[in-house]
Structure 1
Amino acid sequence: MTDISSSFHQEQGVEIQGGEEKENEDQDKEEKARCEWDFHLSTLISSSNSISGSGCDTLGVLEFDPCGNFLASGGIARKIRIYGANSLLREERENERCTMTGVPVTLDHGNACKFYICAPAKLGSLKWKPDWGSRVLGSGDYDGVVMEYDLEKKMPVFERDEHGGRRVWSIDYCHSDPVLGASGSDDGTMQMWDPRCGDNGKCLAMVQPSNQYSPVCCVEFNPFRGPIVAVGCADRRVYAYDMRKMLEPLFVLDGHQKTVTYIRFLDERTIISSSIDGCIKMWDAEDQRVIRTYKGHNNSRRFVGLSVWKPGGLICCGSESNQVFVYDKRWGEPLWVYGCQPMDLTRHDHGFVSSVCWQQNNENQCTLVAGDSEGVLRVFSGKKKLTI
């Protein structure tokens, strides 16, 4: 097991400080040739709850299917909504009008949503099952239950309740063996399971990363190579395990000041993590060091979402200031910020952006979806342009 000691951080701090001048020079050079992005709000999807500001439809999770054809949303309304990408991107057929007027296409959930499935509890996580196209979707809920839904039949086909009724914050599937899943919970454990082993799915392994019984807030398998699964905890650390022998962590990433809320693999050796310390960090997993820290968004106590767009090297998160932040992986300052206007301007609490998700398409144009605490979905289109 490799741990990162305080002395290591002190050394890193000296190295970073010593190279600050060179880093600034490099950034100035890169700034002249960097690729800028044009983003615009193309579609806005709201509901009666959004307009009334009842706050009963907070969107906690958004997930595009692997092919980018469908988007699933879930939250405290106990509904899994499925949207067709074409309905979300219908502004492409009216692109000229939107660009000229700056007015997005506005829909309500009833018109935009293809169908929905009622869930038994509030939803903390959704994940499409690899190699099943757009048919099977997994969920983790506030009652500690993991379920899988067959979307063609619109019904659950698997249920697992092994977290003692404690909230499941995150689930993910192994890409090398897509049947295997993992879930992280408030009970302080990450459990790996196989739906083929009995009605409740045999627990293949269980780890308690922190000795303090800290909640496990995020779980992510490395989708690029090797049997690696990463776990983020309320004890401020990221733990990585070899799923073939889950006794001790392969390494521990220690650098956040508060709970780690999300983990994403950007490539085979780069991990992106976010925390309620208001920072996103990019790590070299092989050297177990921080490459870059991203700051600008406001995140001190809530889950605000994290998504990486791998083809374009962009990172997105929400904010408790009700804004959407986009970072280029090469720079610590935001590349683009969108300030969402609340639906009800009379409210003192203007809500927050609670979930974000990139559609993983080509590297010259992108689609980003953000959901907020009022149940509003905003779809953004981006195109890259070279500046001289």
Structure 2
Amino acid sequence: MSAEPHQPESTNPDKEEADRAHCDWNFRLATVVSPPASRPEASDVIGAIELDPSDRLLATAGIARKIRFYTLATLLPHNPPAFLSHSSACDFYLCTPAKLSSLRFRPATGSRLIAAADYDGVVTEYDLENRESVFERHDHNGRRVWSVDFSAAGDLGASGSDDGVAKVWDPRSSAAGSPVHAGTGSVCCVEFDRVDNGPYLALGCADRRAYVYDLRATGAGPAAVFGGHERTVTYVRFMGGVRMLSSGTDGSHRLWEAGSRELRAYRGHRNGRSFVGMAVWREGGLIGCGSETNEVFVYDLRWGEPIWVRGFGPAESGFTSAVNWRGAGAGGTDDCTLIAGGSDGVLQFFSCRRNQPAD
């Protein structure tokens, strides 16, 4: 597997800058976690990777109808050797009645409560202390729920579904959620503004648009609409200030600012039909994503060309299906960990460290 920087056929100023940015960072495969042995016909696609608020647990979920939990300290010890390989089972897992598309720990509950969105149209909350489900929300008429999220304080939840509706609800109440958006295509992602703690909810939809709603005035319609993608918008991320990042199955990420103006497009990975994951390490200014070429890509927010590409496995064996970042904490900007999951159920952890300038 190659860890060389991506080499597009043509050259341009963005590529030259990205090549220089590649020299700023050192990426190293640190840990591989193989899935437990299962039936040959069973699928183990990882569709979601989530870190708990205490930075102690890592949770994964997907097609296998299980939420698996790992202790990060055992996967990423303080002074790791050059390479670690884990093939053992996770610390524990919870069986679920349906395939899962999204996970989110509820803020203000520590590592205790996690919500899972499933293909049967249900958002289920699980108590990890008792390892059991404690609440089910049926707000989408049995249509697949693609995404679930919580506000920074944990007092609001949101979900988006194949029914074309995004709903906002009180996780402390059994009352049905209130529709914020009702469109003609699936709502594939929802995200609260947890960067600036603003009263905003962003959506990515199958109608090729991303939307931002002001939750104080949802009846007035979206506060912003971003319409530059050519296909389904699969992920949205608030970037702070007036900026937002979106990702689509047109094989691009796009950076926007207030007024729906596109600042930059990021291309290089392949994404035409699958959810390949997209996550941002805001402190370091890096985007991580998967690809249908079964590779992991990293982009610097300043340039449209990738600064690093790593083969996840043979291209014919599947695709990279989920990613997340684990920052260094305390606002550190010089090192972090990129976590990627594949359609074969394998997890890979890449250490990322900024190279220090020569004296």
Aligned partner of 1:365: which letter?
Answer: D
- In structure 2, C-alpha distance between the alignment counterparts of 1:239 and 1:305, rounded to whole Å: 19
The aligned counterpart of 2:165 is 189
Greater radius of gyration (CA): 1
Residues 378/54 of structure 1: CA separation in 2 closer, same or farther (3 Å cut)? farther
The aligned counterpart of 1:360 is 327
The aligned counterpart of 1:180 is 156
- In structure 2, C-alpha distance between the alignment counterparts of 1:69 and 1:33, rounded to whole Å: 31
Aligned ranges 1:139-288 → 2 under 5 Å: 139-175=116-152, 177-198=153-174, 201-203=175-177, 205-210=178-183, 213-223=184-194, 224-247=196-219, 248-284=221-257, 286-288=258-260
Aligned partner of 1:47: which letter?
Answer: P
Match 1:349 to one of 292, 316, 328: 316
CA deviation after TM superposition for structure 1 residue 94, in Å: 3.5
Task: Give TM-score, length-normalised by structure 2.
Answer: 0.90
- In structure 1, C-alpha distance between the alignment counterparts of 2:159 and 2:23, rounded to whole Å: 38
Contact preservation (8 Å) 1:65, 1:71: yes
Match 1:324 to one of 296, 299, 305: 296
The superposition leaves residues 70-128 of structure 1 with CA deviations (integer Å, 9 ceiling, x where unpaired) of 111000101111111112213x5333xx1xxxxx3211241xx2211111110010011
CA deviation after TM superposition for structure 1 residue 310, in Å: 1.4
- In structure 1, C-alpha distance between the alignment counterparts of 2:21 and 2:277, rounded to whole Å: 30
The aligned counterpart of 2:273 is 301
Alignment pair present for 1:82 and 2:56: no
CA deviation after TM superposition for structure 1 residue 191, in Å: 0.6
Structure 1 runs (4+) deviating above 3 angstroms are: 26-35, 52-55
Alignment pair present for 1:108 and 2:87: yes
Q: How many pairs are equivalent?
A: 342
Aligned partner of 2:154: which letter?
Answer: P
Aligned partner of 1:87: which letter?
Answer: T
Residues 371/34 of structure 1: CA separation in 2 closer, same or farther (3 Å cut)? closer
1:86 match: secondary structure = helix
With 301-310 and 35-44 compared, the bigger mean Cα shift is at: 35-44
The aligned counterpart of 1:63 is 50
Task: Give TM-score, length-normalised by structure 1.
Answer: 0.83
- Aligned CA-pair RMSD: 2.1
The superposition leaves residues 198-252 of structure 1 with CA deviations (integer Å, 9 ceiling, x where unpaired) of 3xx432x203343xx2000000011113200011100000111111221211110
- In structure 2, C-alpha distance between the alignment counterparts of 1:62 and 1:339, rounded to whole Å: 19
* Identity between Structure 1 and Structure 2 (%): 47
The aligned counterpart of 1:9 is none
Contact preservation (8 Å) 1:299, 1:319: yes
- In structure 2, C-alpha distance between the alignment counterparts of 1:334 and 1:341, rounded to whole Å: 19
Contact preservation (8 Å) 1:49, 1:375: no
- In structure 2, C-alpha distance between the alignment counterparts of 1:264 and 1:160, rounded to whole Å: 24
* Unaligned ranges ≥5, structure 2: 1-11
- In structure 2, C-alpha distance between the alignment counterparts of 1:336 and 1:209, rounded to whole Å: 38
Indicate the structure with greater helix content: 1
Contact preservation (8 Å) 1:55, 1:374: no
Contact preservation (8 Å) 1:237, 1:256: yes
1:121 match: secondary structure = coil
1:156 match: secondary structure = strand
Residues 372/207 of structure 1: CA separation in 2 closer, same or farther (3 Å cut)? same
2:74 match: secondary structure = helix
